[in-house]
Amino acid sequence: MVTLNHLSVETPDDGSPLLPEAAEVATPTPLFHWQQVIAKTDSRESFLGRRENLAFSLVLLIGCYSAILIPAYLPLDKVAALQHPEDLVLLNQSASLLSGPCQPRWCLNHLKPLSCCAGLLDIPVFVQQERSVPWDLSPPLGLQGSEEHLALALASLPQPGLPPSLKREGNCRRCVVVGSGGVLHGSHLGSHIDQYDIIIRLNNAPVSGYEKDAGSRTTIRLIYPEAAPHSANEYKKTTMVALVVFKSLDLDWLTSVITKQPLSFWSKIWFWREVVDDIPLRPENFRILHPEIIHKTGQVLQKYALKQGNMVPTLGASALVMALQLCDQVSLAGFGYDMQHPGARLHYYETIRMDAMKAQVVHDVNAEKLFLRDLAAAGAVTDLTGAL
């Protein structure tokens, strides 16, 4: 007895073939039947594949959101741990410097052995009154030819000299000069910068929106009219604005800003860029940077330059020399032009690239870098961003 497809048949004794029905069942399964089976199997496997892909996509999406959102809620030291190792080293060096006690006369003691820098000490910081001795040089190295403009500007300043808050009077103080260099971008140094006693900023380098890297406080902002910030937000948490005089008209602009008396149309057209009419600070919060700062800085830079002649330093180098007069210890952040990488970011707050510096002919950035590098190598200043 053979059982086949639930049909019972007897094997014939005479060797005749099986019943037709049984024979048909024994033949190979038609092709369309296998196609249906394969289609069902593929459909089931495809469903499983889609389910696995969906689960994998959800895991990947959650991971991406975590990478983006979690650092925003971590403390600064936790965020730093997620950066490149060299960034973490710089942050640790900065934290170590701030955690120790202030060292009196640190800059002075480390500048003395340097032959280049003997003339960088004991320079007046702000113009206090008209001199009995005539100025020898024109702006920005002096104020020759601008005496009348200077007299009007000084008359508008209630306190033209060094304010009591900036006088040392035996107190050890730390300065940080915040440059505009692209190396500051992504540094996470903002909370460190805000811990310094005196924070010096340059021109229109913004604070608002860049607090994580550049800090939020400003003690002194060095400016000239065309580079003064237009946004009132940039003057929040600002103690003082100091004018750098490049032409006599700059003094007229300062007088206008302090007294709220607008400049004439004829005066305004001589600025190469639109200037701000109002700065939301009180009259006692304005000063005029002493031209001797720029003059002495230029004399030192001349020792590093290939060309001879009166050199006009950048505001960054001038701010450093000003800091040497005010503080016992001086640090730099955002300094160092990397001319070897023209595609690198020039400023921390915009996308202009390094090769844009090739178009300027006023400053010798190579001489300045050598000068700053010597100061950092001697320990007279500390480079917080490590680009010198």
Mark residue 282 as left, alpha or beta (left: phi above 0; alpha: psi -120 to 50; beta: remaining).
beta
**What's the rounded mean pLDDT across residues 163-192?**
91
C-alpha 197/C-alpha 189 separation (Å) is 15
CB atoms within 10 A of CB 177: 31
**What's the rounded mean pLDDT across residues 21-45?**
45
- For the full predicted model, state whether its pTM sits above 0.85: no
C-alpha 75/C-alpha 334 separation (Å) is 22
Shared domain check, 301 and 263:
yes
% the chain with pLDDT above 90: 59
Indicate the pLDDT class of residue 309, thresholds 50, 70 and 90: confident
- Number of separate domains in the chain: 2
C-alpha 357/C-alpha 153 separation (Å) is 33
User: How far is Cα of residue 70 from the mean position of the Cα atoms in its chain?
Assistant: 23
Shared domain check, 185 and 49:
no
Whole-number pLDDT of residue 88: 87
Flag whether 345 is in a domain: yes
Shared domain check, 95 and 44:
no
Whole-number pLDDT of residue 150: 96
Flag whether 9 is in a domain: no
Flag whether 13 is in a domain: no
Whole-number pLDDT of residue 16: 45
Using the predicted structure, report yes or no on whether residue 47 has a pLDDT greater than 80: no
Residue 288 has φ and ψ, to the nearest 5°, of: -120, 120
Respond yes or no on whether the N-terminal peptide bond of residue 140 is cis (omega within 30° of 0): yes
Taking the CA atoms of the chain, what radius of gyration do you get in angstroms? 36
Shared domain check, 215 and 286:
yes
Flag whether 14 is in a domain: no
Shared domain check, 212 and 114:
yes
Spatial neighbors of 170 by CB under 8 A, at least 6 apart, are none
Shared domain check, 119 and 44:
no
Shared domain check, 49 and 127:
no
Shared domain check, 137 and 223:
yes
CB 280 within 8 A of CB 237: no
**What's the rounded mean pLDDT across residues 33-49?**
47
Shared domain check, 350 and 237:
yes
Flag whether 212 is in a domain: yes
Shared domain check, 67 and 103:
no
Flag whether 127 is in a domain: yes
- The mean pLDDT of the chain is 82
- 196 is in which domain, residue-wise? 84-383
Residue 278 has φ and ψ, to the nearest 5°, of: -140, 135
Question: Which of 30, 45, 72 is the last residue before a domain boundary?
Answer: 72
CB 163 within 8 A of CB 197: no
User: How far is Cα of residue 352 from the mean position of the Cα atoms in its chain?
Assistant: 13
Shared domain check, 298 and 150:
yes
Using the predicted structure, report yes or no on whether residue 20 has a pLDDT greater than 80: no
Q: Are strands 238-243 and 174-178 parallel, antiparallel or unpaired?
A: unpaired
Flag whether 59 is in a domain: yes
C-alpha 213/C-alpha 196 separation (Å) is 15
C-alpha 309/C-alpha 307 separation (Å) is 7
Shared domain check, 65 and 145:
no
202-228 pLDDT, tens digit each: 999 999 999 999 999 999 999 999 999
Whole-number pLDDT of residue 7: 38
Flag whether 6 is in a domain: no
DSSP string, 107-148: HHHHHTT-GGGGGGSS---B--S--SSPPSS-TTT--TT-HH
Residue 366 has φ and ψ, to the nearest 5°, of: -70, -40
